[in-house]
Structures are given as C-alpha cells and as structure tokens.
A and B are shown apart, each in its own frame.
Chain A
C-alpha cells in the first residue's frame, strides 16, 4: 500500500467519523490495507473522543468583546485626530510658505528698484 493510497483512505475515514457521513464504508479496502491502518483508525477514534470543542466562559467573551470595541473606538478617534492634525499642519505650512514667498518677492522687487534708482542717480550729469 503506497503512501498516497494510505493518506486517501485515512482522510476518508476521518471525514466519515468527524462529519458523521459514513464515508468510510464507501472505500474499498483490501484485508491487508485494513490490517495496516487499523491502529491508525483506532487512534483517530481516540482523538475524536479526546478533542471535543470547548466553550470559553460567557463573562470572558463578553468582557473581551466590550474591551476590544472600546479600544477600536479609541484607536479610530486617535487616528482621525492625528489625520486632522496632520492636515492642519500641512495647511499652516502651505500658508506660511505662500506668505513667505510673497514677502520674498516684494523684498526682491523693492531691492531691485532701489538698486536701479541708485544706478540712475550715479549716472546722471552733475551741475
């Protein structure tokens, strides 16, 4: 019996056991195959008996759920506040930059005009 065949038969057996489909009866097994896998079938049955779903306590589920929703609310509020602060910061920076550029342009123009006026005054004939 090869590995693949053994895996297939075992998987069918487990599915039949866990999902109560009785699928194992649909698998044709030789006596040799059955003998080889019997111990694994028994182990599967033991596992099914031992590994039953457990329930967390209702208090725990309720308490953790409430705490998670509160935390989520705080996180979302904080994210929104940070986003708003970043937006205000960017807008302020943008405004400051545009004011600075206007002031810079005025200073540049005034300086240039003054320089031109001085140059004209030097070149003008005296007397």
Chain B
C-alpha cells in the first residue's frame, strides 16, 4: 500500500480516509521543512503544517490530477499559508521561543561557536528576505536535496530556468548577506564604543 502512486491514493482518498493518511505520512516532513525554513521556528512550523494539510484535505475531493506532482499542490498551499502568516505577523511583532533559546545558547556557548551560529542565523535571515519562489528553490535544493529536474517539476519551470534562477538567487543572497553582516558589525562597533 505504501508503494501506491500518488494519483491512485488521491483517487482513493475521496472515498477512503486511510488513503489521505498515507499521503500525509509521505509528505509531512517535506512540508514541515519548507515551512520551518520560511518561518524560522518550530512552533509556527507545526501550526502552519497542520493548516496546510487541513486545507489539502478540504479540497481533495475537487483535486484534478493534471500530471504535476502532488507535492507541487501541497507546496502551493503551504506557500499561501505562509504568505498569510507573514501578513498577520508583520502586524504584530513576535519573538519566537526558538529565537530566545538560540539567544541563550549564543550567550552561553563558547565564543567561536556563538559566532558561527550567529553567522548561520544571519545567512538564514538573508535567505528569508528573498522572494518566496527563491526561498522555495533554496529549500528544495539544500534541505530536500532534490535534483534540478525534480525542482523544475514542482515549481512548474524548465530545468534551464531553475539553473538560471539559482544563479540569480545566489547573487542576490550574497548581496543581502553582506548588507546584514555590515549592519551587524556596525551594531557591534556602536556597542563597544558606547
């Protein structure tokens, strides 16, 4: 039953609740990873992953299989859910628990480790400033470790377009990252002078 194709499971899910359960188990980790790297904390990742699958379940009876992978459909829902979340959270500033924990670790850990962690956070912050489709590309490439052909299928583009988008994404990320690093150094200098 675990080897059943997505198309067969989707057709069966309209009449059999267990079929949707199998689809869920197949994709929950991927969707969770995608949302985690878009939001930056586990609490929101859990909440938005649940919302994504509830929405997929609600619309599964109207799902039309046009040959695109089911994951593309889920990523699209996840993308919309995250976009709504960003819109809502931009109105009210929240400090996530993960940030607080990381902050504590930064202060408690050895200096080199803390610096490394800080730089990683800065890079992820810069990645989160990129347009959504570029973030998706980085997540599919580095977290999901997909091949370009698979990414092209999920994102509805050609393989060549994906390679080109990847190049442009890296160039933009390099600039954003450098900007953030400069800002960070400015803050540090300001603190040490003051």
Contacts and interface: CB of A to CB of B under 8 A. Distances in A.
Interface of A: 3-4, 6-8, 10-11, 14-15, 18-19, 39-40, 43-44, 46-57, 60-61, 64-65, 67-73, 75-76, 79
Given A47-B142, A68-B21, A15 B148 contact: yes
Nearest to A63: B50
Contacts, number: 117
B164 A4 contact: yes
B158 interface: no
B1 interface: no
A64 B49 contact: yes
Interface stretch (B53-61, B64-72, B82-90, B102-110): B53-61
Interface of B: 13-18, 20-21, 24-25, 28-29, 32-33, 36-37, 42, 45-46, 49-50, 53-54, 57, 61, 119-120, 123-124, 127, 138-139, 141-145, 147-148, 160, 162-164, 166-167, 170-171, 173-174, 177
A11 B20 contact: no
Cβ-closest 8 pairs across A and B: A72-B17, A51-B142, A7-B167, A11-B163, A73-B17, A56-B32, A7-B163, A50-B120
Contacts of A72: 13, 17, 20-21, 57
Contacts of A70: 17
A18 B141 contact: yes
A76 B32 contact: no
Grouping DSSP codes into helix (H, G, I), strand (E, B) and loop, the B interface class, with mixed when no group exceeds half, is helix
A7 B49 contact: no
B145 A19 contact: yes
Contacts of A44: 170
B152 to A, nearest CB: 11
Contacts of B141: 14, 18
Contact of A7 (B18, B50, B166): B166
Nearest to B56: A68
A10 B170 CA distance: 9
Given A51-B143, A54-B36, A68 B24 contact: yes
A46 B142 CA distance: 11
Contacts of B119: 46
Contacts of B167: 3, 6-7, 10-11, 40
Contacts of A69: 17-18, 20-21
